[in-house]
């Protein structure tokens, strides 16, 4: 089965400790699927919340399909994520714990279906983020030193 990535949330790995990942389907209209196939989707600012026993994706931007007429819907509407009831119950239990949140990490096509990879995350503090930046800078400097040594 082929996997084609259409959107990645790079900021999620910087802002959160990702403890577990879950694959979820997403409920879309036909015009939204066509737009997503052209990689006109952005999950960077989006997040998940619970509504009436289901998990919803909020603030995910899918650009309206340019050739779609009245089939186009609002670009930042709330979209339902498709998971099994047991998975939803387990995730809701984890989210209710202090400090956990559900963040979309990437969007990709698995075969002909659009999937969203969700991360069960704990937020990082500023000192954690500074440590990540420091390590990244040290790695870059080491790579430069190795390249200059040759």
Domain 3-124 has CATH 2.40.280.10: yes
Say what the pLDDT of residue 132 is: 85
Q: Can you give the pTM of this predicted structure?
A: 0.78
The model's pLDDT over 65-84, given as tens digits with 9 standing for 90+, comes to: 877 777 778 878 899 999 99
Our CA angle for 102, 16, 37, nearest 5°, is 60
Q: Where are the domains of the chain?
A: 3-124
Three-state secondary-structure class, residue 132:
helix
Residue 117, Cβ density class (10 Å: 0-12 exposed, 13-18 middle, ≥19 buried): buried
The model's pLDDT over 96-147, given as tens digits with 9 standing for 90+, comes to: 888 788 999 999 999 889 999 999 988 878 777 888 889 989 999 999 998 8
The model's pLDDT over 10-35, given as tens digits with 9 standing for 90+, comes to: 888 888 889 999 999 998 888 888 88
Say what the pLDDT of residue 142 is: 92
What string of DSSP letters covers 20-47? EEEEEEE---HHHHHHHHTT-EE-TT-E
* Rg of the chain, C-alpha, whole Å: 18
């Amino acid at each position: 089965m082929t996997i084609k990535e259409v959107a990645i949330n790079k900021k999620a790995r910087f802002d959160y400790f990702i403890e577990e990942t879950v694959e979820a389907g997403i409920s879309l209209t036909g015009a939204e699927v066509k737009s997503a196939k052209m990689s006109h989707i952005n999950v960077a600012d989006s997040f998940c919340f619970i509504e009436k026993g289901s998990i919803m994706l909020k603030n995910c931007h899918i650009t309206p399909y340019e050739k779609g007429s009245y089939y186009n819907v609002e670009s930042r509407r709330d979209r339902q994520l498709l998971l099994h009831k047991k998975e939803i119950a387990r995730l809701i239990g984890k989210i209710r714990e202090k400090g956990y949140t559900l963040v979309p990490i990437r969007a990709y096509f698995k075969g002909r279906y659009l999937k969203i990879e969700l991360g069960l995350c704990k937020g990082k503090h500023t000192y954690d983020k500074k440590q990540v930046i420091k390590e990244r800078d040290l790695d870059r400097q080491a790579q430069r030193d190795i390249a200059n040594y040759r």
